[in-house]
């Protein structure tokens, strides 16, 4: 029996600074005693905060978590641009003397305005986006010029929490709520460019993914996976409407059969289909009063 007791579920982890998300997954695999660990979005080594991991068959839920909105707290340093748009890169330009000192709150507020709402954003050249089958960051760090296409993202909130002078630089602390696929490093880069002084990210912490908060996350170094694991039925019920199955319906759905319910009025889906014993049987989608399975979960794992 694995360290999870054979259970499937979702694990919230608070990633520390200085390790990759792959490192965090590898450590979780050892602690959980299973190779079946996946993630719903990575964090750079410099960043800290919330990783959402799937254990065993609950990796099938990750598809529905990847696209959730996210919240970050970040520090943007104005006065220099770097090769990676963050503190891990080399400085490629610095602001003219006195330019940063001349910046006032109104200028910063005005420069942030075009970076909010639905915007067209060019991802950082060291992002994980694939170019001709290779990760952009692999090409960039090999010295190749990487040009990525702009993509539409939504910045729901971009709030300045405070600022302080650090030598020739101005550090701005911000809170960002954004759609999946938004690059906070790109916001730092674009803010610096708009102000004519250059900008890059010096700190980043992800605090929320959808309804999940880092406040509920386990410490990677000290966590007990079995205790920290969120059951798949619990997670699915937070994300979707639920449908309570009868015993016969649970069996039918487990065999891939469609369900018919003339009284259903809860929308198309996805809908979490829950067995009488509380187990998540699968996710279903209704077309009128007929539901077909989107994904099923095995019955041989322990109900969490």
Say yes or no to pLDDT of 108 above 70: yes
Question: Residue 302's pLDDT is what?
Answer: 47
Question: Residue 304's pLDDT is what?
Answer: 43
DSSP for 176-189, written as a single string: EEE-TT--HHHHHH
Question: Residue 45's pLDDT is what?
Answer: 86
Q: Average of pLDDT values for 143-172?
A: 90
Question: Residue 265's pLDDT is what?
Answer: 85
Question: Residue 134's pLDDT is what?
Answer: 66
Identify the band that residue 177 occupies on the pLDDT scale cut at 50, 70 and 90. very high
The string of pLDDT tens digits covering residues 242-267 is: 999 999 999 999 888 999 998 888 88
Question: Residue 73's pLDDT is what?
Answer: 98
Say yes or no to pLDDT of 7 above 50: yes
Question: Residue 143's pLDDT is what?
Answer: 62
Distance of alpha carbon 208 from alpha carbon 72, whole angstroms:
7
Say yes or no to pLDDT of 136 above 70: no
Say if residues 302 and 2 touch (Cβ distance below 8 Å): no
Distance of alpha carbon 147 from alpha carbon 185, whole angstroms:
16
Identify the band that residue 148 occupies on the pLDDT scale cut at 50, 70 and 90. confident
What is the rounded end-to-end Cα distance, in angstroms, of the chain? 15
Distance of alpha carbon 7 from alpha carbon 4, whole angstroms:
5
Q: Which residues are catalytic?
A: 44
Say yes or no to pLDDT of 125 above 50: yes
Angle at 164 between CA 158 and CA 167, to 5 degrees: 130
The mean of the pLDDT values for the chain is: 90
Q: What share of the chain is helix, strand, coil (3-state, %, to 5)?
A: 25, 35, 40
Question: Residue 133's pLDDT is what?
Answer: 63
Say yes or no to pLDDT of 139 above 90: no
Say yes or no to pLDDT of 301 above 60: no
* Residues facing 81 on adjacent strands: 93
The string of pLDDT tens digits covering residues 264-284 is: 888 887 999 999 999 999 999
Say yes or no to pLDDT of 303 above 50: no
Q: What token pair was written down for 124?
A: 């950082």
Name the DSSP class of 195.
Answer: H
Which CA distances in Å does 270 have to 7, 159, 291, 293?
Answer: 23, 33, 10, 9
Question: Residue 88's pLDDT is what?
Answer: 87
The string of pLDDT tens digits covering residues 203-234 is: 999 999 999 999 999 999 999 999 999 999 99
């Amino acid at each position: 029996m694995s360290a999870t007791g054979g259970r499937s579920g979702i694990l919230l982890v608070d990633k520390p600074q200085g390790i990759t998300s792959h490192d965090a997954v590898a450590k979780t695999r050892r602690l959980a005693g299973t190779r079946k660990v996946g993630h719903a979005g990575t964090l750079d080594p410099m960043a800290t905060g919330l990783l959402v991991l799937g254990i065993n068959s609950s990796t099938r839920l990750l598809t529905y978590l990847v696209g959730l909105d996210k919240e970050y707290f970040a520090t943007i340093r104005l006065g220099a641009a770097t090769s990676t748009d963050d503190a891990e890169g080399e400085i490629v330009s610095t602001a003219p003397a006195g330019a940063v000192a001349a910046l006032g709150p109104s200028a910063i507020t005005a420069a942030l305005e075009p970076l909010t709402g639905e915007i067209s954003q060019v991802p950082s050249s060291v992002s994980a986006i694939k170019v001709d089958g290779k990760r952009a960051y692999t090409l960039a760090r090999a010295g190749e010029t990487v040009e990525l296409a702009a993509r539409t993202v939504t910045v729901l909130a971009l709030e300045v929490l405070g600022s302080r002078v650090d030598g020739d630089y101005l550090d701005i602390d911000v809170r960002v709520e954004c759609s999946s696929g938004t690059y906070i490093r790109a916001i730092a880069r674009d803010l610096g460019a708009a102000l004519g002084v250059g900008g890059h990210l010096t700190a980043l912490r992800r605090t929320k993914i959808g309804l999940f908060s880092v406040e509920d996350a386990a410490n990677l170094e000290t966590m007990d996976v079995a205790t920290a694991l969120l059951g798949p039925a619990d997670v699915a019920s937070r994300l979707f409407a639920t449908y309570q199955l009868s015993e016969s319906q649970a069996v039918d759905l487990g065999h891939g059969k469609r369900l018919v319910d003339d009284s259903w009025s809860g929308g198309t889906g996805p809908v979490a289909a829950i067995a009488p014993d509380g187990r998540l049987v699968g996710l279903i989608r209704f077309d009128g009063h007929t539901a077909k399975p989107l994904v099923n979960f095995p019955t041989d794992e322990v109900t969490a």
